[in-house]
Structure 1
């Protein structure tokens, strides 16, 4: 009888151990706060230094975009600076500036004043602009969008 008890206890121990390992491997351990998750990811990435001169060669500014938001009682006056990953990408971005302005106008016109309010709203706007402008580029990619002016006014 003792050998059977030992075999059963060993089997239960192995099953519990396997369940624990699987549970830990499949459970999402990312923080609930997206900013905390971004900080953790940024800590794992080594950043390369880019000089200010080189950075100036890879940025393009679009100033004074004035458009209505989704709520027609509100309009926005905004300026953006796009940081690209190469000088070739900047050249292509300059040639497609009219398309980029259209992307900005349509993105803003789909957003309500509540959606663009605060840092979370600005983050959502810049993320949408990065995604939409990168779809138009073939030579490179937009790395970051800086909002240099953003004024929401009620008419």
Structure 2
């Protein structure tokens, strides 16, 4: 009886292993090797919900005219930001914590050099850093997107 049990377990193991190998080979062929194409393929599979402009406006908070030095004290930044949140409770909480959000903005900007803050790469870095750091402070929802509506780097 023991040899039959061993043969059955061995057969099941071989079948499962073969199925796993085949599954991986088919999945690798269906995903593009180019990361940009893979991202587009993934994005095409995600269902998005339409949010009207009025609803979006109800869930945004603007923080205007932040003026602070960069890490190089001869440069300063004059910037304005608009934060899009995922619900109205998050907006209310964000508004109550505006003083903390301004601190996060100032700290983020004062840690940057003028070279890091320039160009679209600098804008993207600032947006993503602010998105991550402000979401750490919120409990009722999250920031969906950070829009930089004004960004001027000036040398004194």
User: Any idea what SS the aligned residue of 2:117 has?
Assistant: coil
- Give the 3 Å change call, closer, same or farther, for CA 116–42 of structure 1 in structure 2: farther
2:43 maps to what in 1? 42
- Return the offset for 1:41: 4.1
Q: Deviations over 1:57-80 (max 9, x none)?
A: 100000000000011110000000
CA distance in 2, matches of 1:53, 1:115: 35
Paired positions, count: 131
- Return the offset for 1:116: 1.2
Q: Deviations over 1:88-132 (max 9, x none)?
A: 000000000000000000000000111111111101110000000
* Contact residue 32 and residue 38 of structure 2 kept, 8 A: no
CA distance in 2, matches of 1:37, 1:121: 25
Q: Deviations over 1:3-31 (max 9, x none)?
A: xxxxxxxxxxxxxxx7xx67x95xx9664
CA distance in 2, matches of 1:106, 1:152: 16
CA distance in 2, matches of 1:66, 1:38: 36
State the superposition RMSD in angstroms: 2.1
CA distance in 1, matches of 2:91, 2:121: 27
2:8 maps to what in 1? none
Q: Deviations over 1:21-50 (max 9, x none)?
A: 67x95xx966466xx665454333222110
User: Any idea what SS the aligned residue of 2:95 has?
Assistant: helix
TM-score (norm 2): 0.76
CA distance in 2, matches of 1:102, 1:30: 42
2:79 maps to what in 1? 78
1:61 maps to what in 2? 62
Unaligned runs of 5+ in 1: 1-17
TM-score (norm 1): 0.76
- Return the offset for 1:142: 0.2
CA distance in 2, matches of 1:137, 1:55: 18
